[in-house]
Amino acid sequence: LLDARPGLAKQLHVSHGASREELDRGLAEAEVLLAGRFEAEAIERRAPRLRWVQSIFAGVEKIVSSVPPTVAITNAGGVHAGKAGEYAIGGILMLNNVIPTMIAQQRQRAWNPVYTSSLKGKGVAILGTGHLGSAVARHCGHFGMVVTGISRLGRAEPGFDRVVRVDELAGVLPGCAFVVVTLPNTPGTRMLLGPTEFGLLPPGAGLVSIGRGQVINEAAMVDALASGRLGGAMLDVLEKEPLPRSSPLWGLPNVVITPHCGVDDPESDLSLALEVFVDNLVRYTDGRPLRNLVDRDAGY
């Protein structure tokens, strides 16, 4: 990857490690940190020369408050878009074909056909119009769905029939047979979907959750799923992970839970994240703006 900029490798001093000790040895001198999960506590003291942290993850909520504002944080946003799009449209297709009901019947060895109509013309609300949301929108459009994006600013984006602001959500939900949550966990997104929102959806609507579980009021979701107000859900992320064994979600027949693995692709995630890093490294040495720079106020 470093072939992109001949000579760049020679300018670098690289240290690496998997333990706190090894990390701190490198951090003492480091200007740049490329990291996955790491203890960011007191990073200002441990890494006095640090100017930029590149995360290999898309979500950076666990480090954003520990890293001082003078240090740039970039994330690996976009890396998961391919798999996330497949997961979400797969979930919509599965819920539209009432597969959870089919599987429950199968356990009873019961041959009870249930006929459902095509996705064509059905409405979908996609919360978040970033990398993940845009990938989902493109697939929904392929199947002829009517695609509404919901974002902070309500700015039009390719692949969406329209994009509205978060405060316009209530007006959108009654026309949506499906809701897909792709939002990160930020002060502005927490508990965005609760009893009111589930009540506005047409009865039997389907929910797909990627992004972060904190965007959904989980207790309200359980109620809506148990009552049938929500027809079904496919959940890759939850308020608390791992989902506690006591959670009623495990036992709901119209719910499919995947343990935070649906949007990851082991064959491409790391190499795509490293591509973002190397591109940013070239920008950094050139003094040009970094890609995927995290907005501290927005939290992503």
Directed axis angle between helix 99-107 and helix 81-96, to 10°?
60
Closest contact distance (angstroms) between CB of 134 and a copy of itself is 15
The rounded distance, in Å, linking the Cα atoms of 85 and 3 is 31
Q: Which stretch binds a copy of itself (CB under 8 A): 115-123, 149-157, 182-190, 275-283?
A: 115-123
Q: Which stretch binds a copy of itself (CB under 8 A): 19-27, 125-133, 192-200, 237-245?
A: 237-245
The rounded distance, in Å, linking the Cα atoms of 281 and 190 is 33
Binding mask 117-156 for a copy of itself (x = CB under 8 A): xxxx------------------x--xx-------------
Question: Toward a copy of itself, which CB reaches closer, 74 or 212?
Answer: 212
Return the amino acid letter for 264.
D
Closest contact distance (angstroms) between CB of 56 and a copy of itself is 15
3, 6, 30: which is closest to 16 by C-alpha? 30
Residue in 5, 260, 283, 291 annotated catalytic = 260
3-state SS record for 21-40: HHHHHHHCCCCEEEECCCCC
DSSP string, 127-186: E--SHHHHHHHHHHHHTT-EEEEEESS----TT-SEEEEGGGHHHHGGG-SEEEE-----
Choice from 1, 41, 48, 116 touching a copy of itself (CB under 8 A)? 116
The rounded distance, in Å, linking the Cα atoms of 172 and 164 is 8
Site residues for a copy of itself, 155-214, by CB under 8 A, read none
Choice from 8, 35, 71, 93 touching a copy of itself (CB under 8 A)? 93
Contacting positions for a copy of itself (CB under 8 A): 82-83, 86-87, 89-90, 93-94, 96-97, 99-100, 102-103, 105-106, 109, 111-120, 139, 142-143, 241-243, 245, 250, 255-262, 264-268
Show which residues are catalytic.
Answer: 212, 241, 260
